[in-house]
Amino acid sequence: MKVARTKRRPIRSEGPWAWLAAGSVALSLLMLGGLLLLIATRGLGHFWPAMVAQVEMADGRLLAGRAVRELPLEQSAGRERLYFTANRDLDGQAWHWLPVNDIVASETPQDLIVLERRRHGEFIGRLVALGDAESVREQQAREATWERLQARLATLQELRGERERLRREVLRPLIRRLDADPSDAQARQALAEANDRVRVLQEAMRGEVALLENVDGRRLVQPLEEVLRAWRPNAMSTVEKLGIWGRGVWRFLAEGPRDGNAAGGVWPAIFGTVLMVLLMSLLVTPFGVLAAIYLNEVAHQGRLTHLVRIAVRNLAGVPSIVYGVFGLGVFVYGIGGSLDEWFFNDALPSPTFGTGGLLWASLTLALLTLPVVIVATEEGLARIPVQQREGALALGATRLETLTRVVLPMAVPAMLTGVILAIARAAGEVAPLLLVGVAKLAPQVPVDGEFPFLHLERKFMHLGYHIYDTAFHGNDVQAAMPLVYATALLLVLVVLVLNLTAIFLRHYFRARHGVQPRP
């Protein structure tokens, strides 16, 4: 409903009040802007391939790493600087505090490379040679080796893709066929062949290693199969860095997490969040709208209806974890347990629906947001002018026809308002999900090519929980912190996109007929 704003003379005479009011608005905006700016810079900055410094200390130590921040020393004068030096497998730690006064020289050699690896985090150092595991020995010039490394990594990427494709499109369907009919000789044959092909691919990938060298000369044999990306931050132009940055952001969005959620992407969490919210909207809208119609149009407007209405409004204030407990008790153990007994008896004792999952999480959140939808829809229904109802009735429409053909279409924007509010609340909710279905790691998204395509019983990942998990449960929380910011930014964006979609829908329904001009 648009509120007509008449031009009023602003309050000027009561100086302090106007200032106080304006000040609080400014402060709110400032805090909001600051929050967004913080998570945006910290989160997005993580993907920028920063320069790597080679640092020589007064005691002769050589280190290479990215300077992260500087603090004054506690005991003496001077400052100390934190370097991210990676190489967790060589040094046992990836961070070094160095007193700034003891740094003799700091330079940025062009040949320093950074490798992103599947295990042990990043590597910072130099590339010595490439080859197979048995005969790693000094080869051609370094520049050539860098280019060959790039080429080999690209080939490996292709092989990896090929292996994934085989697993997904050939192996899994065959295994399902064999599960259904263990005597299927043809499938058994095909499975053996496919397994052989995967093995050949594995061999081809496993063979190659790189000989790497730390800045202080310690060497390391790194299987190339475990290297995901390589770059030389000191030898790159800004455009190249932007490319690396873009690819980094894209991989963050499109890939699954690695290393106990401390690295890699968040695609399953994005997918899980959006899917869960959409399912929740699908569940809550019909229930909420029907309940509102009953309360507003059907029920006798007496004391009981009034009490029900108050109860519904109060339900909106119940802490969300309480809904989580309810979902766990009723949906997961109660309904889910019974479903398992009746339909999935052969899988017991491992539960199918008797454990947290997508369906139960969506249902719990639908319950949580039900009051919001009911209240918004009721207000929408109450706002529809009585003339519209009388107009329909006077044409011989029954009360049901009046409701379905005139009142409900006019109340659609109000219903969408309810759904918008529900989405805004549900997308950021984590506490109840802990109890009813969110998982630390569920790389398999709940939608795939396997019948029935949407797997409601599966556990799923959620951006909100991912933030919590990354921030508190990793091996190297310090290194994972930027990912926390990036994920937080993403969560804000996801909620924004979901909300905007609903707002555009509402706008479309409102604008279809415009505002009725009053003569």
| Tokens 């003799």 -> residue | 104
512: contact with other proteins by CB under 8 A = yes
Residue 50 · residue 64 · CB < 8 Å:
no
SS3 111: coil
Interacting span for other proteins (CB under 8 A) from 156-164, 223-231, 343-351, 403-411: 403-411
Of residues 213 and 401, the one with the C-beta less far from other proteins:
401
For residue 117, report the phi and psi dihedrals to the nearest 5 degrees. -115, 160
C-alpha 416/C-alpha 412 separation (Å) is: 6
Binding residue for other proteins, selected from 33, 34, 391, 443, defined by CB under 8 A:
391
387 binds other proteins (CB under 8 A): yes
Residue 91 CB neighbours (<10 A): 15
Q: Of 24, 338, 398, 501, which one interacts with other proteins (CB under 8 A)?
A: 398
- The Cα angle at residue 257 between residues 252 and 260, in degrees rounded to 5: 140
Among 8, 349, 394, 452, indicate the residue that binds other proteins (CB under 8 A). 394
Q: Is 20 in the site for other proteins (CB under 8 A)?
A: no
Instruction: Pick the closer one to other proteins by CB: 137 or 518.
Output: 518
473 forms part of the interface with other proteins (CB under 8 A) = no
If binding is defined by CB under 8 A, does position 409 make contact with other proteins?
yes
DSSP 454: B
Query: Residues with Cβ < 8 Å from 21, sequence gap 6 or more?
Result: none
Distances in Å between the Cα of 287 and the Cα atoms of 168, 235, 408 are 38, 60, 15
Tally of CB atoms within 10 A around 41 = 12
- Separation CA 448–CA 272 (nearest Å): 13
Residues in the interface with other proteins (CB under 8 A) total: 25
Q: For the chain, give the longest Cα–Cα distance.
A: 97
Of 62-70, 253-261, 335-343, 401-409, the window that binds other proteins (rule: CB under 8 A) is 401-409
Q: Give the binding range for other proteins (CB under 8 A) out of 7-15, 66-74, 398-406, 500-508.
A: 398-406
Buried b (16+ CB within 10 A) or exposed e, 407-437: bbebbbbbbbbbbbbbbbbbbbbbebbbbbb
Q: Is residue 180 near other proteins by the rule CB under 8 A?
A: no
Instruction: Kindly indicate which of the ranges 237-245, 389-397, 450-458, 482-490 contains the residues binding other proteins, using the contact rule CB under 8 A.
Output: 389-397
Q: Which of 82, 401, 444, 447 binds other proteins (CB under 8 A)?
A: 401
How is the chain split among helix, strand and coil, in percent rounded to 5? 60, 15, 25
Minimum Å distance from CB 302 to other proteins? Answer: 10
For residue 275, which amino acid is it? L
Amino acid at 401: E
Pick the binder of other proteins from 396, 451, 452, 453 (CB under 8 A): 396
Nearest to other proteins of 202, 301 (CB atom)? 301
CA 68 vs CA 35, 51, 97: distances in Å: 21, 11, 10
Task: Work out how close the CB of 396 gets to other proteins at its nearest, in angstroms, rounded to a whole number.
Answer: 3
| Nearest-10 Cα torsion for 494, 500, 501, 506 | 150
| Sole binder of other proteins in the list 410, 447, 471, 505 (CB under 8 A) | 410
- Shortest Å distance, C-beta 1 to other proteins: 14
306 contacts other proteins (rule: CB under 8 A): no
| Residue environment code for 193-225, b if the CB has 16+ CB neighbours within 10 A, otherwise e | ebeeebeeeeeebeebbbbbebbeeeebebbbb
Residue with Cβ nearer other proteins (16 or 517): 517
The least distance separating other proteins from the CB of residue 15, rounded to whole angstroms, comes to 45
Phi, psi of 463 (to 5 degrees): -60, -40
Q: What is the four-CA torsion angle of 72, 75, 77, 83, rounded to 10 degrees? A: -40
Q: Given the complex with other proteins, which of 16 and 302 has the nearer CB atom? A: 302
Cβ-based nearer residue to other proteins, 334 or 409: 409
Looking at beta carbons only, is 60 or 396 nearer to other proteins?
A: 396
Contact with other proteins (CB under 8 A): which of 393, 434, 441, 471? 393
Q: Binder to other proteins among 295, 392, 420, 489 (CB under 8 A)?
A: 392
Q: Which is nearer to other proteins, 51 or 395 (CB)?
A: 395
Q: How far is the CB of 308 from other proteins (least distance, A)?
A: 19
For other proteins, which is the closer residue by CB, 108 or 398? 398
H/E element, 57: strand 53-57
Q: Which is nearer to other proteins, 220 or 397 (CB)?
A: 397
Return the residue of 169, 193, 390, 450 that touches other proteins, per CB under 8 A.
Answer: 390
Q: What is the DSSP letter of 327?
A: I
CB of 390 to other proteins, least distance (A): 6
Residues of this chain that bind other proteins (CB under 8 A): 385, 387-388, 390-398, 401, 405-406, 409-410, 512-519
